[in-house]
Amino acid sequence: MAAMTDWKRILPAVAPHARADIAAAFVAADDRIAAAEITTPDRISHFVAQVATETGGLTRLEESLFYTAERLCAVWPKRFPSLVTARPFAGNPKALAEKVYGGRLGNVKPGDGWRYRGGGALQTTGRANYRAAGFEADPDKLRAPAGAIAAALTFWADHGCNALAEADDAAAMRRRIDGGEVGLTECKANLAKAKAARRVIPAQPKLKALRYPVGAVDGTHGDRTTGAVQLLQKKAGLPVTGELDDDTLAALDTAEPLAVPTRDANLAQSRTVQGGAIAAGGASFVTVSDIVGLKDQIDDANGHIQAGTVLGVMVGALIVAGALYGLYARWDDAGRPVPEVLAHRFPRLTGARA
Dump pLDDT digits (tens) for 121-166.
Answer: 999 999 999 999 999 999 999 999 999 999 999 999 999 999 999 9
CATH code, 143: 1.10.530.10
C-alpha to C-alpha distance for 10 and 243, rounded to whole angstroms: 18
Per-residue model confidence (pLDDT) at position 335: 45
Per-residue model confidence (pLDDT) at position 352: 40
Flag whether 199 is in a domain.
yes
> The pTM is what?
0.70
Flag whether 112 is in a domain.
no
Flag whether 2 is in a domain.
yes
Same domain, yes or no: 189 and 266: no
Selection from 201, 118, 197, 148 nearest residue 24 by Cα: 148
Same domain, yes or no: 276 and 237: no
Same domain, yes or no: 51 and 131: yes
- Whole domain around residue 34: which residue ranges? 1-63+118-209
Per-residue model confidence (pLDDT) at position 215: 85
Contact 72, 86 (CB under 8 A): yes
List, as one string, the DSSP characters of 82-123.
SHHHHGGGTT-HHHHHHHHHTTSTT--STTHHHHT-SBTTTT
CA 235 to mean position of chain CA atoms: 28
Same domain, yes or no: 59 and 183: yes
Greatest extent of the chain over all pairs of C-alpha atoms, in Å: 95
Same domain, yes or no: 135 and 21: yes
Same domain, yes or no: 179 and 154: yes
Q: Is the pLDDT reported for residue 334 higher than 50? A: no
Mean pLDDT of the chain: 83
Per-residue model confidence (pLDDT) at position 320: 66
Q: Is the pLDDT reported for residue 285 higher than 70? A: no
Same domain, yes or no: 173 and 131: yes
Same domain, yes or no: 56 and 136: yes
Same domain, yes or no: 168 and 297: no
